Structure 1
Amino acid sequence: MRRWTMLVVGTCAMIAGSTCQFGLAYLIPAFRDRGYRLEQTGLLVACPTVGVTLTLIAWGAAADRWGERIVLSTGLGAAGLILLVARPVHDPATLAVCLTLSGAAGASVLASGRLILGWFARHERALAMGIRQSAGPMGLALAAAVLPALAVRGIGTALLFLAALFLIAATAAFVLVRDPSPQPSTGPAPAPSPSPYRTPHLWRIHAASALLVIPQFTITTFALVFLTDSRGWTPLAAGHLLAGAQVFGALSRLGAGYWSDRTGSRLRPIRIIAVTTGAGMVVLAVTAAAGWGLAVPVLLVLGVVAVSSNGLSFTAVAEHAGTAWAGRALGIQTTGQNVLTAAVPPVLAVAISDAGFAPSFAVVAAFPLVAAAIVPAGAVRRDATADLRS
């Protein structure tokens, strides 16, 4: 029972983190109503991810050393307090600093994948990680459903909501999270675990996973703008539609985890999803260029498919790294992803402003196809990933 409590708390913490880190895209119309240009709003949307990127590896190392109860409660609490300070801020530069600091503190939640490695056996681990990683699209669904409506009353109201999510998650982590107990040893002290980075296996997973976030966050960030600017939808109606798509995106991560556990492979499903995503981006570019209504359902399908591999890549990284290195390896994994995630909103905002949606979508299609080519062929796993449940 305790392991499921750990999973629920970790998932709720991830929902809080993803709602803030990625949900600011749903405030783009409100930012533009303040007079910010699209390029400025793209930078603001990227600020939490920039903060996350700066501190992820440090949070992972802290989790390896002190455990995740301390890391989660401290980081999430600090992120909530910073957002409370940001509420009355109107200057875009000052607001950008606050959002960056909040992301840096909230990055602690991305080190909590070690709980899955410690509390769940291998045959159920991908599904458990899929449930935890479903928090990403669930956070986006929450943001899409709630933030546009709250922004009508002011951006400060939306920031208050995000701060409350962080503070509630921090309290739950402090009260309920228990780090898994290490296995007792009757022999001599074990030698330090060798680095899993001596071979290119992990680096290839990191690189492929980073490339796969480019189409994911192209859709996440600019789906609302595409629907409002190109298809004539209202922000509220588009937000509700995208919220529904994100719910199915969350379910797709569970389905991918179940698929992986049943087949015993983490990496072959990732490759199939990458090829499907690249093909889907090509279709989206063609339908957007032609002005066809088919672009909307294609956009929604991509919003589901493009997010489905995330839990698999995290599981593969944690299993190959082993418990001694899992926090750092997950920190490196998420840092690589967030470097590109932070780049997507400002770069795509400029590209869309200059060239339009269709050419931008066509360029993005290349990245998941490259990712499919560099995913390692084998599903290597280490003895260090033995079941640690108590």
Structure 2
Amino acid sequence: MTENPPSRQAWVILVVGVLSQMAATIAITGPAFLIPYMHTDLGYTLTQAGTVAAAPSFGLILTLIAWGAFADRFGERLAMTLGVALTALASGIAVALVGSPVWMVLIIAASGAAAASVNSASGRVVMGWFPRHRRGLAMGIRQMSQPLGTSVAAVTVPPIAAAGGFSAYLWFLVIVTGVMAVICFGLVKDPPRAEAVPSPVVTSTDAGQPGPTSARGESTASPATDNPYRMDSFLWRIHAVSALLVIPQFAFSTYGLIWLIANQHISVGIAGGIVAASQIVGAIGRLIVGGLSDRLGSRVGLMRVVAIAAVVFVVAIALISLTPMPIVATVVFILASAISVADNGLAFASVAEAAGPHWSGKAMGTQNTGQFVMS
């Protein structure tokens, strides 16, 4: 039997999902690049500036599950459009509040809370439009949007702030998210909702448990009234494994630069290039692993391989830390960083498929929440 390729609409949705996630990522990570400007130009203490920088992430954590439930109930188009539009509104209001650290923390947290809509809804809409045999690749591409968004923020935010201060960054964010809200409203279409099948065909799933699927191989086990978290432990186990795999991911991304400089005696410029290269390789790795999961027909099996590889590379980093080996350290660090993020797309695809069309938004919100809390 030949498998139907993704429709043109599916690819349009994927592009919009990537761009909207990149815009949300700029809103979440942008303030971190402005700490020096808040300290010198606005007179914030380092503690105040750091709190403002962290505020979007706090807002994000508080609303991820709520936005997922909103997308489940009202659709992805409304969730993405409303969330990105509210991010633009909050950023515009923040322009008038830059002189007050307290108000800035509150309004920047609100912008992060609004941007959280994209995390759940964009993944949900991509999963809804792509057939199962292409979802791994699609989610791998979608997961590239976060490191790409961080890279765009790192390149654009400091010069914008240098030219026009914190307010210039906020206006930049208003424009970016405002344009994306219009694009989401015009181009995003909610995928067809699968209806529960009275007598589904029972097949084997990645969860290792028998699960009902439709003729297209999509989960139909979870009508709106059925809670997939009560059916078996699969979703809980995926959430737990993903949260644990966040530990090496954020350890490498947060402390990798200083480890290369202080432990391996690599110059600051070269170390920065190594970290940047690791982010690019990691983004490409998500794409490759996602496509491979489609070919193998298993996401969880590949996640096991990624988890084992992560353990091996963490041990390798620990051993290399005993003595400076700059060349070896560079290669191992890049590979370790790539492996540590390779599971993200696999986990999101598995969670959405296991949760079913009526619960995937809440499940992906829970998945993201666990990862952010652990990080």
TM-score normalised by the shorter chain: which range applies?
0.7 to 0.9
**Using a 3 Å threshold, how does the CA distance of structure 1 residues 232 and 61 change in structure 2: closer, same or farther?**
same
Q: Highest relative contact order (Cα 8 Å, sep 6+), 1 or 2?
A: 1
Amino acid at match of 1:85: I
Equivalence for 1:142: 152
Equivalence for 1:17: 24
Equivalence for 2:292: 259
Q: Does 1:245 align with 2:254?
A: no
Post-superposition Cα deviations, 1:186-207, rounded to whole Å, max 9, x if no partner, equal 999x965521111211001011
Equivalence for 2:209: none
Identify which range, 57-66 or 285-294, moves more after superposition.
285-294
For the 8 Å contact 1:144–1:239, the answer to whether it is kept is no
**Using a 3 Å threshold, how does the CA distance of structure 1 residues 284 and 184 change in structure 2: closer, same or farther?**
closer
Q: SS in structure 1 opposite 2:71? A: helix
For the 8 Å contact 1:141–1:244, the answer to whether it is kept is no
**Using a 3 Å threshold, how does the CA distance of structure 1 residues 140 and 73 change in structure 2: closer, same or farther?**
same
Q: Does 1:310 align with 2:344?
A: yes
1-side partners of 2:71 and 2:274: how far apart? 37
For the 8 Å contact 1:16–1:169, the answer to whether it is kept is yes
Runs (5+) with no aligned partner, structure 1:
342-390
* Residue pairs, 1:336-375, within 5 angstroms: 336-341=370-375
**Using a 3 Å threshold, how does the CA distance of structure 1 residues 127 and 238 change in structure 2: closer, same or farther?**
same
Q: Does 1:196 align with 2:204?
A: no
Q: Does 1:152 align with 2:162?
A: yes
Equivalence for 1:97: 106
1-side partners of 2:307 and 2:300: how far apart? 11
Identify which range, 159-168 or 326-335, moves more after superposition.
159-168
- Who wins on radius of gyration, i.e. which is larger? 2
Equivalence for 1:218: 251
Runs (5+) with no aligned partner, structure 2:
1-7, 200-221
Give the number of aligned pairs: 338
Query: By how many angstroms is 1:312 displaced?
Result: 0.5
The structure 1 residue matched to 2:191, chosen from 180, 192, 202, is 180
Q: SS in structure 2 opposite 1:152? A: helix
RMSD: 3.2
Equivalence for 1:161: 172
Post-superposition Cα deviations, 1:22-68, rounded to whole Å, max 9, x if no partner, equal 45444455556567677666544432121111111111111111111
2-side partners of 1:238 and 1:144: how far apart? 16
**Using a 3 Å threshold, how does the CA distance of structure 1 residues 257 and 179 change in structure 2: closer, same or farther?**
same
TM-score, length basis structure 2: 0.78
Equivalence for 1:79: 87
Amino acid at match of 1:118: G
Q: SS in structure 2 opposite 1:323? A: coil
Q: SS in structure 2 opposite 1:178? A: coil
The structure 1 residue matched to 2:12, chosen from 1, 5, 10, is 5
For the 8 Å contact 1:134–1:250, the answer to whether it is kept is yes
Amino acid at match of 1:71: A
Equivalence for 1:109: 118
**Using a 3 Å threshold, how does the CA distance of structure 1 residues 129 and 157 change in structure 2: closer, same or farther?**
same
